[in-house]
Amino acid sequence: MTLFIIRRLAALVPVLLGVTLLVFAMLWLAPGDPVLALLGESAQGISRAALEELRRAHGFDRGPVIQYLDYLGGLVRGDLGTSVRSGQPVMQEVLGRFPATLLLAGSAMFVASVLGLTLGVLAAVFRRTVVDHVAVLIALLGVSVPVFWSGLLLMLLFALDLGWLPASGYGTWKHLVLPASAVGFSSAAFIARITRASMIETLRQDYVRTATAKGLGPGAVRLRHALRNALLPVVTVVGLQFGGLLGGAVLTETVFAWPGIGRMLVDAIATRDLPLVQGSVLFIAVLFIIVNLAVDVSYAVLNPKVRYD
């Protein structure tokens, strides 16, 4: 297991190098001038010499290869660059938004895991009954309904009509309920569908019938024997969903004015803040790799037969 983790961490270097190259190439080929985007309407009254001075100050006057090599040199020193828009270090900007994103992602995945596992297990145990049909219908709605639309419906009902919760913002637990519920319901649909399919397959295995024949109760057979082995594909889905949320739930953070990484990344793209976009994407890539590594390690915890040689 230790050797496996070391190999995965070593593979982090070429993956991140490819991410930086891809993002840098896409931003360089994108139309528009980052200096003009930074100045906005004030760019009309500025001279050409002043524009060139700003480009030199931010390093945009050099060729793409030199800029990319300089960026890699900064990464080796732990420097992600400086935001063109705010003038603050990119690492400081990203880490300042990460707690809000982590709070939203963790709360949403808690809602999604509890709801998704419950619906999936009930649908598998009571297969082809009313319970199964209702659970499948709820999962279908969760997959089909866009997050921004369900978020607007939640705001309309609980914020405007009932007045129980704030419509948007960040600060208290009340601000977290609506965005976490909107994202969690969408993710719960995927978890419920995978849990149902995996539980149905697991309940047909010989060891489940053997445990039942030995006199174990239905609850012990389904939860202790069947569910634990059925969780392997579910953990994969949960890891992917959680990794995506750590990268920023862009639509949800925009609808609910949540100050997370996703909203910051959208604003950085709109203003052509190249250092902030590159640093944010690199940070998200590292989070994805860490989450995937945790998912692989959890396989061995859930199933002792899984070993990494």
Is residue 181, in this structure, part of any structural domain at all? yes
Q: How wide is the angle at C-alpha 22 spanned by C-alphas 17 and 24, nearest 5°?
A: 95
In this structure, are 72 and 178 located in the same domain?
Answer: no
In this structure, are 228 and 262 located in the same domain?
Answer: yes
In this structure, are 161 and 42 located in the same domain?
Answer: no
pLDDT at 159 over 80: yes
In this structure, are 71 and 177 located in the same domain?
Answer: no
In this structure, are 60 and 194 located in the same domain?
Answer: no
- Cβ atoms of 266 and 33 within 8 Å: the answer is no
pLDDT at 309 over 60: no
Is residue 85, in this structure, part of any structural domain at all? no
Is residue 281, in this structure, part of any structural domain at all? yes
In this structure, are 127 and 155 located in the same domain?
Answer: yes
In this structure, are 145 and 59 located in the same domain?
Answer: no
- Selection from 277, 178, 169, 292 nearest residue 235 by Cα: 292
Q: How wide is the angle at C-alpha 144 spanned by C-alphas 165 and 283, nearest 5°?
A: 70
Is residue 132, in this structure, part of any structural domain at all? yes
Measured CA to CA, the distance from residue 105 to residue 32 in angstroms comes to 33
Q: Residue 82: phi, psi to the nearest 5?
A: -120, 135
In this structure, are 266 and 136 located in the same domain?
Answer: yes
- Per-residue confidence at 306, pLDDT binned at 50, 70, 90? low
**How many other CB atoms are there within 10 angstroms of residue 168's CB atom?**
15
Domain total of the chain: 2
Measured CA to CA, the distance from residue 265 to residue 258 in angstroms comes to 13
The number of residues in the chain equals 309
In this structure, are 119 and 43 located in the same domain?
Answer: no
The predicted-structure confidence for 218-257, as pLDDT tens digits, reads as follows: 666 777 767 777 877 888 888 888 877 776 577 788 888 8
Q: Which of 78-82, 232-236, 264-268, 287-291 has the lowest mean pLDDT?
A: 78-82
In this structure, are 75 and 164 located in the same domain?
Answer: no
In this structure, are 71 and 198 located in the same domain?
Answer: no
Longest pairwise C-alpha distance within the chain: 86
- Selection from 223, 211, 208, 213 nearest residue 122 by Cα: 223
- Helix (H) or strand (E) segment spanning residue 266: helix 261-270
Prediction pTM value: 0.78
